[in-house]
Amino acid sequence: MNVKKLVAKAKKGNKEALVQLIMARKDDFYRLAYSYMGNEHDAMDAMEEMIVILYEKIEQLQKNETFYSWSKTILVNHCKTSLTKRKKMVLIDDWQEAEDQAAEIQHSYFQIEQQLDIQELLSHINEHQREAIELKYFHDLDYQTIATITNAPVGTVKSRVAEGLKKLRRQAGGAVNE
- Using the Cα atoms of residue 79, residue 80, residue 81 and residue 85 in order, give the sign of their dihedral: positive
Which of 32, 40, 110, 109 is closest to 77 using CA atoms? Answer: 32
Does 112 map to a domain?
A: no
22 and 65 inside one domain: yes
Q: What is the domain range of residue 8?
A: 3-91
Does 147 map to a domain?
A: yes
7 and 87 inside one domain: yes
Q: What is the 3-state secondary structure (H, E, C) of the chain?
A: CCHHHHHHHHHCCCHHHHHHHHHHCHHHHHHHHHHHHCCHHHHHHHHHHHHHHHHHHHHHCCCHHHHHHHHHHHHHHHHHHHHHHHHHHHHHHHHHHHHHHHHHHHHHHHHHHHHHHHHHHHCCCCHHHHHHHHHHHHCCCCHHHHHHHHCCCHHHHHHHHHHHHHHHHHHHCCCCCC
83 and 128 inside one domain: no
Q: Determine whether 82 is exposed, middle or buried from the number of CB atoms within 10 Å of its CB (0-12, 13-18, 19+).
A: middle
86 and 145 inside one domain: no
| pLDDT of 150 over the 60 cut | yes
Q: What is the pLDDT of residues 27-47, one digit of tens each?
A: 999 988 988 888 899 999 999
15 and 82 inside one domain: yes
64 and 137 inside one domain: no
| pLDDT of 176 over the 50 cut | no
Q: How far is the C-alpha of 26 from the C-alpha of 37, rounded, in Å?
A: 16
Poorest-pLDDT segment among 57-61, 111-115, 133-137: 111-115
CA-to-CA dists, residue 165 to 81, 133, 159, 169, 177, angstroms: 64, 8, 10, 6, 8
CATH number of the structural domain spanning residue 144: 1.10.10.10
Q: Of 46, 66, 91, which residue sits at a domain end? A: 91
Mean pLDDT of the chain: 83
Percent of the chain with pLDDT over 90: 39
20 and 87 inside one domain: yes
Does 110 map to a domain?
A: no
135 and 65 inside one domain: no
Q: Of 37, 68, 91, which residue sits at a domain end? A: 91
Instruction: Return the higher-pLDDT residue of 71 and 114.
Output: 71
Q: How far is CA 173 from the centre of its chain?
A: 43
Q: What is the pLDDT of residues 90-108, one digit of tens each?
A: 555 555 666 666 666 665 6
CATH number of the structural domain spanning residue 62: 1.10.1740.10
Q: Look up the pTM and report it.
A: 0.50
